Structure 1
Amino acid sequence: MMQTVYLPRKLCDEIDKKVRSFIWGQTRDNRGVHALAWLTLCKPKLEGGLGVREARLNNTSFRMKNC
């Protein structure tokens, strides 16, 4: 669905929030340790990041691909 439909900013932010919670091991009762900043995690692997893509940028690139 992300490839054909423009997702609202709020929805993309919620997707990113879920990804961050998973990576940092955060649950409702326990906050995980944030060893790296989100911007560092979004860097490509060759630059020392994990290659995680932000949902907003991912949505935009998918839609541009279909043009």
Structure 2
Amino acid sequence: MLSRREAEVLGLAAQGLTNGAIATALTLSVRTVERHLQNVYTKLGVGGPTARAVAVVRWVRDR
């Protein structure tokens, strides 16, 4: 299960925001956003260059 913040970060990624834009929107560092996304990928069991897209699709589908 994703934490509230992980879901928030992934939701913004689903809207097409870059890591930098997500960081600005949530008043976080880019590194923190990257870490949240890495945690999401691990929890969803995805990796590689398509991890972001797969994570977004799964998150949207399962909402």
Whether these two folds match at TM > 0.5 is no
TM-score (norm 1): 0.31
Q: Which has the higher helix share?
A: 2
TM-score (norm 2): 0.33
Could you say which structure has the larger radius of gyration? 1
Q: Which has the higher contact order (CA 8 A, sep 6+)?
A: 1
